[in-house]
Structure 1
Amino acid sequence: MRQLFCIILGLCMCANLTFAQNKSLSLDPQKAEWFKDAKFGMFIHWGLYSMLEGSYKNRTLPDSTLENGNTWYAEWIQMRLEVPSNEYKTLAKTFNPVNFDADAWISEAKNAGMRYFVITSKHHDGFALWDTKVSDFKVTNTPFKRDILAELVAACKKYGIKYGFYYSHWQDWEYPGGGMPNWMPMVPDDQFEKYWQEKSLPQVKELLVNFDPDLLWFDTWDWPTHITDKRRDELIALVRENSSKCLINGRISYLNPGDNIDFLEMHDNQYPDKMLDKPWQTPATMVHSWGWHAKDYAWKPSSEMLGYLVNNVSKGGNYLLNIGPKPDGTFPKAATRRLREMGAWMIPNQESIYGTKPVKVETSVGVYLAQKSENSKHYLYISLTNATDKVHLPFDVSTIKNCAVLESNMPISFSKENDGVTFNIPQSLFKDCSVQVLKAEVSKEL
């Protein structure tokens, strides 16, 4: 009998432990509602790598003469252009972005219509943009001395912007045992575990406790050798235990994010062609590089980026648009101009973006749909990225009460055609803006 009692007691303890573990990992879908409604955010890649501007000792990315140099990603310059670690670390001795103004950055995000902000708190180089107590490789040990994250968090609170931090939990090229790119010798797992326990987990806890972020943006892709399911769950549990609101993205373990993340993260500049089961977003660049690259001139026009935004919104996703600030702490002029152009478009068209839901019908190329219900009324938004004279949708014409251009309220005629409804689009509509939005009042949710 005593043996049976011990067995039962042991099983109960295991069950309680499993319940506690599952509880620490569990997510609350309601806390992601703000994220699903926000749609548009600003991403920042900034650090010591910005000082090199994509070039090192007469080599400039991309450099196909080096085995791994054929990329535009300037934030990877230490590894891609084979900068010796001791040389790279000396950049901290001269890091002094005297023109950095957190208020100016967040004001630009606000005016562009962005509702949340994410910055690289620590990228793969291991350099921290806050006054971490875990490592001496940090911004407050540079001539600049100021805590960049603290200033940005204060500005976000001032402007009512949600905020989060990118944190490279897997790769760290400064700390012994930190993960390395796949062309480098693989770090033994016991050494990685030392890094994991001594730097990665403690710094994540610091970010949570010190700044209370709305989300954490972790980063792996298709060769995360050390982020096992056990470590993934350990990190998720750490976040859940220290924050009741912080969202976790799917790149915490790109190949196997599990069921306890809050939103999926697409690959760089990846735009799904269908709706997904979880909230999701695309991290996207204005040029090729994420970090500042002085010779990357491939600036996307604002019209193209607005097209990506309405595409993602039509599929229930978000658009996290990146800027790589310059070494002095200012935004590139080309980035600022595009932000302001997008902000000008958002002023009259924002109701077609925020708080909308997708419409589950197929449309032709360049036609994107979203819907919203307010005060017992239902609205359909039709975003057009290509000039056209007609738009045909598979809805009963009787469900359409009226339709107009959202910006100007110019009426749009429509009629029954081929078991659907056809909207007649004036060609003059596309003279001033390449992305136009129609608003139709409908009789029910579609």
Structure 2
Amino acid sequence: MVKTFVKNILFGLVAAGILAAMGTMAVESRLNAHPDELDHVNAGRYFLQYWDFPAMDDPRLANTFSNYGVTYLQQLDVVYFFAGKFARLIGPVLGPDYIALRFFNVFLFAILMALFLRLPDNRKIAFLPLFITPQVWYVFSYFNGDAFPMFLSFCMVYAVARLDAPGLPEPPGATARQTRLLLMLGLLLGCICISKQNYYVLAGFTLAFFGVCGLAARDIKAAARNAALVFLVAATVFGARWGYNVYVNRTVRPEVPTQNAEKYAVPDYKPSAQEAGTQFWGLRMRDQGLSYPQLFSIWTWHIWSFRTSFGVYDYMKIYAPFIYYRYIGYIFWTLAGVLAVTLVLRGGPAGLAALAVFLSFAALTIFQSTWHSWVNDFQAQGRYLFPIGAMAGMTLARFADVLNRTLPVTSVLAAAMLLLSAYSFVWVGLAQIPR
């Protein structure tokens, strides 16, 4: 009991320290000192004033368009509605609207920390990905569209961690609890699918994950029934939002998005510039003659994506000494290797299947990010790989009893990554971010 109490105090102090650093970043950093923040803030500002979702030809969108000539409000994403209403509520306390919008994301991370502390000790390993990279903390410390789907995905991890055998019937008397958790998973998955397209791969992983759970419990039929419930709820949420978007835009002419892009985009991002071949160098690199392998050999996509997964700030301008990325990489791959080997050796056929499913969908997540950089816009940014964190969390939750046997080793490695992450966020990010 005393050991558990001390451990929870330690975890609480770590969570409080991270939140304090994030709050400092949110308050002190200058507006638009972070990737595309002003465009996200302008989208959130719309819902500070209005309640209805606008059509693509709505004149109220005029000040929400980005350099690309698109607005986040033309997507299915609902984070701007919730963030706008949150900022309207706490704005009188925090002052500038962009700080209030930032604290929407800080508030989401605080909820995740509360969920982490509520987890039983033998399931806390499921939230490990939130503590080993400062890039996650950074994304939650300014306003953007990436923090919300990651919040939702780790709420899914929490729901999975609360189940003894995710996707399968629990002991008698626990059916109602299981049903509630499955409904929660479906609701969360549906909200994720209307938040960020790069999280669609998480839906595929979730389906395969139910199969792994069925294999582990030797009851595929039960897993299939529960997966059907989750995906029915998710499809209902997605369909309702998509249908409402179609209704709102029912009178919008098909050419309006292109016209908006031509009107609001900066010169080398306009559709006419792309047609003439005079567009920004990072757009449609495949059409400009770049081969897929050259994405790595010339533009080193893999190097920049790794660095921006473990602590790069501002518009990719502020980064730690290169030796930092080398050593955090060494520790990360060692940690991942220890967990993977344990899963294979101790997890049986289900553990091997879980690792295969995780690696397959992690690879798919990486591939879709490279494809986007090659075909659409070169963005070697770690935030596009964040769905992998939730996949890892769900796998860690399901096989926690097996993987907790590695705690003497993994705790040391995770603590080392936590300390390096704190160095990066505080002494690199906070120290150099424009104010």
If the length of structure 2 is used for normalisation, what is the TM-score?
A: 0.25
Structure with more helix by fraction? 2
Higher-Rg structure is 1
Structure with more strand by fraction? 1
If the length of structure 1 is used for normalisation, what is the TM-score?
A: 0.24
